[in-house]
């Protein structure tokens, strides 16, 4: 199974969107400085959104959509209550 995930930095509140086959390991990588260059050495991250896909091409397409303008709007609308509570 493939997963597209959204993590949020606990200090800066920045979001990062990526995909993986092992969410637990990937989050650990981000928090230990082994993650993507944009998440290294910027504090701790927490998982705030997750979607699962059976086909790799589908998860890659979804990740690209969520990183784009309308995809980011969609994501923020889906997480509206999370952002209000945070």
The span from the CA of 6 to the CA of 27, in Å, is: 10
The span from the CA of 76 to the CA of 83, in Å, is: 8
The span from the CA of 58 to the CA of 54, in Å, is: 8
**Contact present, 39 and 30 (Cβ < 8 Å):** yes
pLDDT in tens, 23-81: 999 999 999 887 677 776 678 999 999 999 999 999 999 999 999 999 999 998 989 88
For 81, the token pair is 């209550």
Q: What is the dihedral of CA 28, 30, 34, 39, to 10 degrees?
A: -170
For 34, the token pair is 């082994």
Q: What structural domains does the chain harbor? A: 2-85 (3.40.1440)
């Amino acid at each position: 199974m493939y997963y597209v995930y959204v993590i949020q930095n606990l200090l800066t509140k920045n979001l990062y969107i990526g995909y993986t086959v092992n969410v637990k390991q990937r989050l650990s990588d981000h928090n230990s400085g082994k993650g993507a260059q944009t998440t290294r050495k910027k504090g701790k991250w927490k998982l705030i959104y997750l979607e699962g896909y059976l086909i790799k091409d589908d998860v890659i397409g979804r990740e690209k959509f969520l990183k784009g303008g309308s995809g980011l709007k969609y994501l923020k609308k889906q997480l509206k209550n999370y952002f209000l509570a945070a």
